[in-house]
Amino acid sequence: MRAVVQRVNEAAVTVAGKTVGAIGSGLVVLLGVGDDDSATDGRYLAEKIAHLRVFEDDDGKMNRSLLQERGEMLIISQFTLYGDCRKGRRPSFSHAAKPDAAMELYKAFVQSTQDLGIATAEGVFQAHMQVHLVNDGPVTLMLESKGAF
């Protein structure tokens, strides 16, 4: 699995002009599921992201986690994170999981995050979405369950 994680002051996702998910302070996670991923990858990333020290302490150092801040998480499925742009001009998505498997693993990631006690909001799987956010910092990180980043 691949994730782009952004620290935000607030964020929302809309589908067809209707807000389907919104959070206050916390993290936006764009989550891509690969064709060789499993629920283990989702649990690993959920734990990793929940404990990332990306929030500032009283001294202004990134030393606090989402769990410590009691922040929220907006999780958006993003198969384009598996776009391979090395050849030609059109991305290949041959390593992205098929929709049924991706949806199951996306839901498992959401559940793993909720099991950690994090309040979550979601986009709509396979929908055309608009994500609105105020990136705080900006702080943006890329993670992968298999360690490529």
Identify the pLDDT of residue 146. 85
> In order of start, what are the domains of the chain with their CATH numbers?
2-144 (3.50.80.10)
Task: Provide CB contacts within 8 A for 102, sequence distance 6+.
Answer: 33, 77, 79, 96, 125
d(CA 86, CA 72): 35
What's this model's pTM, rounded to 2 decimal places?
0.94
What 3-state class would DSSP assign to 113? helix
In the predicted model, what is the mean pLDDT of the chain?
96
Active-site option among 68, 80, 126, 140: 80
Active-site option among 78, 109, 113, 120: 78
Active-site option among 6, 14, 55, 79: 79
Residues in the chain: 149
Active site residue 80: yes
Q: Over range 65-79, report the average pLDDT.
A: 97
d(CA 132, CA 142): 19
